[in-house]
Amino acid sequence: MAEVNTATSILRALGVILLILTLLVASVRDLKHKEVERIVWLPACIFYGIRFICLIKTAGREACFCLTLIIVYGLMQEALFSKFYGRADSHAFLICGIYFIYLKQDLTYCFMHMTFSFLILTVRQLYKGNVGKNFALIEPVAFIPYIFFSFSFVYLFCCF
């Protein structure tokens, strides 16, 4: 039993390290080039895919519920929310969401993360005077660094 808990802890730590590195690379690409290639997301997607295959083999029903939540959240991100912000931003929210779903089996943290990201972006851009009359940004800004920061905040303060 202790071996399983140790392996789970190691996989959880590897998952969050990979996610942080992915978000860090995406943030730098977004800030420097205003573009994030899809290949940036590939290592995290492969890791979480393998992780869920292992989870399905061991947990069965619990894993199917998690997978259902991920599909629902993914469809919401790609079909609905990506129209409000870019594809790379929706990919960033999705890989963070996959981690929160895997960790808590709930969409609450996903939506808390999204809300906090938008709140930070709004406050910062209002302070900088980058918000127009119709409440749209005057100049586009990189959003992934805000997503990264809010993920760190939600993870540190809500998941422990």
d(CA 92, CA 38): 11
pLDDT tens digits along 95-153: 999 988 888 778 999 999 999 999 999 999 999 999 988 888 899 999 999 999 999 99
For residue 85, which phi and psi values (nearest 5 degrees)? -135, 175
> How many domains does the chain divide into?
1
Please give the residue range of the domain that contains residue 36.
Answer: 2-158
pTM for the complete prediction? Answer: 0.90
pLDDT tens digits along 50-89: 887 777 777 677 778 888 898 899 999 989 888 888 899 9
Can you list the alpha helix ranges (DSSP code H) found in the chain?
2-33, 42-59, 61-75, 87-104, 108-128, 144-158
Question: What is the distance of C-alpha 154 from the center of its chain?
Answer: 11
Half-sphere exposure (Cβ direction) of 39: Cα atoms closer than 13 Å: 0
Q: Does the pLDDT of residue 159 top 70, yes or no? A: no
